A and B are shown apart, each in its own frame.
Chain A
Amino acid sequence: MTDALTGHSVKQASFLDYAPAPESTSILHLKKSYGLFIDGAFVKGHGTPFKTISPATEVTIAEIANANAKDVDAAVAAARKAYDRTWSKLSGADRGKYLFRIARLVQERARELAVAESLDNGKPIKESRDVDVPLVAAWFFYYAGWADKLDYAGLGPNPKALGVAAQVIPWNFPLLMLAWKIAPALAAGNTVVIKPAETTSLSALLFAEILQQADLPAGVVNIVTGAGDTGEALVNHPDVNKVAFTGSTAVGRAIAKSIAGSGKKLTLELGGKAANIVFDDAPLDQAVEGIVNGIFFNQGHVCCAGSRLLVQENVHEEVVDRLKNRLSTLRLGDPLDKNTDIGAINSREQLERIRELSDIGEKEGAQRWTAPCAIPEKGFWFAPTIFDNVSTSSTIAREEIFGPVLSVLTFRTPAEAIAKANNTPYGLSAGIWSDKGSKILAVADQLRAGVIWANTFNRFDPASPFGGYKESGYGREGGRQGLTAYLSGAGWSAK
């Protein structure tokens, strides 16, 4: 071929080695250091600041303030003041206006937010650009519409806000989880103190700038950055009325214990070990895509990931074979390259955990297969991996790995599929693949999972409630049901 740029003849090794197509970071104007966002302004934290790095390169992006108990106090006080003096006095329609404004600003700054998210979290830009940020805007638009219609939330006439909501969110979808928490809280009339995860504070701090741009009254949303102790101080603060947490089951359990009897309303969205059930009458090519999307989307850092593939025995080999072929086409690398399918693992700590559990899986006798892809020298990476012939008693069939690792199990009948799918302490999501609608409905009816996808996986919509059974938590986020977590009706009163 001839290189059209130089006119020289160059040899193209392979078309599939697509030339680099990096998203430019020039749109980002990051500060060297970020303070806490309290009472409408950035202030210094009293803890020791920490650095946030790009997991793809391990290069420091910015320094982030660390909130101690004193800072949390100030943030809760600001939220209380804003609730008493401003936000609770506004009409629903006026609260809605602010939310609409935030949604539009998120859309205007979508590119910038996507780049920041991929830089800080390690997820591919195509996901932050096409999934995370559009959903963030959608969430604010959706709940903006609810703000003046709370009478129809299902809690009877004139439901009341709870007051100050303390919210702690994880690192897998930093900005999206923030939107899931803040949008319904504000629509319902609460004020908020939110703590992003330690490794992914950046997009929340850019969001704080958006709140300033939107002229949201000071103190309505406060953002405190820090590690576990900051979160602990926040959820245990005596002046918060509501606690919402998304993260690990262990931490969720600790929160539930520590606030028990305090009168704080609690929602928990915790771990999962979802079954993705493939019947022999499934649309196979689409099922393979769905399996890939179910477990390798966002490097498997998804609480509702389809990490257990339950495939009917008579199509097991064919499905695994097709899956391996498909995984061989996934592109792992620079999260900012527009052609990257698999980005970086968010932190060294998480990478270690994935490695540890994978090694256990191998020791326990499952067959390990890893997609052939070059791993960059710097940063945290884990190639897409399948474990075949996994038994239900195996550790990797029971524990949440939270990484790009799929455990393959087989079943013979629908009854066995249902039994195996339900045989987990979790119950967040599940997937069913079959061309037969009646079978899908019959199986879905018996699965104990909060979200069930049929012939698709990992699809989210603000109008659809999301949440789990059993150790996957309680309460629902999204939809009308998501509002009830932030409101008290006739039957329940906030302390």
Chain B
Amino acid sequence: MNASTQAVALPQLAPAQRAIGLIGSDLTEKSLRLHLEGLPGVDAVGLEQRAAGLGTRSIKTTSKAWALDTIIRLIDLTTLEGADTPGKVRSLVAKAMNPDPSDTSTPRVAAVCVYGDMVPYATEALGASHGDPDAGLISVAAVATAFPSGRASLPVKLADTADAVANGADEIDMVIDRGAFLAGNYGLVFDQIVAVKEACRREDGSYAHLKVILETGELNTYDNVRRASWLAILAGGDFIKTSTGKVAPAATLPVTLLMLEVVRDWHRLTGERIGVKPAGGIRTSKDAIKYLVTVAETAGEEWLTPHLFRFGASSLLNDVLLQRQKLTTGRYSGPDYVTID
């Protein structure tokens, strides 16, 4: 066989619907690469300036009250420790269901986010409160695919995912293979996301929501973040998520702004709405309000619902509760007036 005259058949990527719609049916590593590398560049200085500008919005009185309640509704209350126990998870769930015992008008959070093996304890503790956040209920999100590093073989990642879904997880927070991404193996990253999405399929044919963690702190450049965001959407992600929370820097406002610009562009192109979840490092109400402003002024206000925006956070909730108490009573209380989970 003469290799120089033989047309090389490029290996096809998994036939993800969105990618075929945008790139065409000849979906290969090369066509995916050409698409991702053809995206407009990101000017870091300009992006950071815009984020800083959005951060100067002054949210007061009624707007602040609405913002604080909305932040609570958008929180994935999270515990992701090696030391997690069923007791710890039950305590987290109790906090999620009743964030401020001193004020029953306080909304509930969107979801609790735990490791896969903790899902049964979370669903059990939630009981009748387990369900769709749009209906005022609380979802269970599980991290999967060898979180946080993602360094495991594909079968292990898929088993990890399927296990969490079988246990009742409503949402799967997967990590991408950053090593493969940085080495330029976009096709591998893509195929894995498609496979994990398939592992999210339940027996009744419905799917657990898939959040794709890019771990932007390891991707390092904004251009990479934009490419990875597109890649995750094309492969079928329902949400793109900044970070695991285990790598510094975790979520930053410029990175989140950039990802919001991607979902805004995707919506302009296809009419489909993808969610964004900044996770890690957002600890104060003041910071979280900057994110709300950024969402509203970039993707649009309609993104401020649990199906399209989440905060991955643990300590944020109590700061929001303190601010909420301040708005109600006019006085600042202190950390002993909110409960630890």
Residues of A within 8 A of B (CB): 1-5, 7, 10, 12, 14-21, 126, 130, 281-287, 289-290, 329, 338-339, 435, 455-456
Contact = CB atoms under 8 A, between A and B. Distances in A.
Nearest to B295: A15
Contacts of A281: 40-41
A283 B42 contact: yes
A191 B59 CA distance: 46
Contact of B46 (A1, A7, A15, A289): A289
B43 A286 contact: yes
B45 interface: yes
Interface of B: 40-43, 45-47, 49-50, 56-70, 105, 261, 292, 296-297, 301, 304, 324, 327-328
A3 B297 contact: no
Given A329-B297, A455-B45, A284 B59 contact: no
A1 B65 contact: yes
A287 B43 CA distance: 9
A282 B67 CA distance: 35
Contacts of B47: 285-286
Contacts of A329: 297
Contacts of A282: 40-41
Contact of B296 (A4, A16, A284, A455): A16
Contacts of A16: 296-297, 301
4 nearest CB pairs, A to B: A286-B46, A21-B58, A4-B327, A338-B58
B62 A3 contact: yes
B60 A20 contact: yes
Q: By DSSP majority rule, is chain A's interface helix, strand, loop, or mixed?
A: loop
Given A15-B67, A286-B50, 17 more contacts: A1-B69, A2-B69, A2-B105, A3-B62, A3-B65, A5-B65, A12-B63, A15-B292, A18-B57, A19-B64, A21-B58, A285-B47, A285-B261, A286-B42, A286-B47, A338-B57, A435-B40
A4 B63 CA distance: 10
B65 A4 contact: yes
Nearest to B68: A4
A145 to B, nearest CB: 26
13 contacts: A2-B65, A4-B324, A5-B328, A15-B66, A18-B58, A21-B59, A126-B56, A130-B56, A282-B40, A282-B41, A283-B40, A289-B46, A339-B58
* Majority SS at the chain B contact face: helix
Contact of A18 (B43, B46, B63, B70): B63
B46 to A, nearest CB: 3
A282 B39 CA distance: 10
Contact of B60 (A10, A21, A289, A435): A21
A283 B59 contact: no
A215 B300 CA distance: 53
A15 B296 contact: yes
B61 A285 contact: no
Given A15-B296, A18-B57, A339-B57, A285 B40 contact: yes
Nearest to B62: A19
Given A15-B304, A21-B60, A286-B47, A1 B66 contact: yes
B319 to A, nearest CB: 15
Contacts of B105: 2
A201 to B, nearest CB: 29
A480 B41 CA distance: 35
A5 B297 CA distance: 26
Contacts of B63: 12, 15, 17-19
Contacts of B301: 14-16
Nearest to A21: B58
A410 to B, nearest CB: 18
A287 to B, nearest CB: 8
B45 to A, nearest CB: 7
Contacts of A435: 40-41, 43
A3 B66 CA distance: 8
Given A15-B66, A126-B56, A285-B261, A456 B46 contact: yes
A10 B296 contact: no
Contacts of A21: 58-60
A405 B47 CA distance: 24
B289 to A, nearest CB: 10
Of B50, B58, B292, B301, the most chain A CB neighbours within 10 A belong to B58
A5 B61 contact: yes
B58 A284 contact: no
A10 B328 CA distance: 14
Contacts of A7: 328
Contacts of B49: 289, 456
A455 B43 contact: yes
Contacts of A17: 63
Contact of B328 (A1, A4, A130): A4
Contacts of B66: 1, 12, 15
Nearest to B262: A285
B225 to A, nearest CB: 13
Contact of A289 (B50, B57, B59, B296): B50
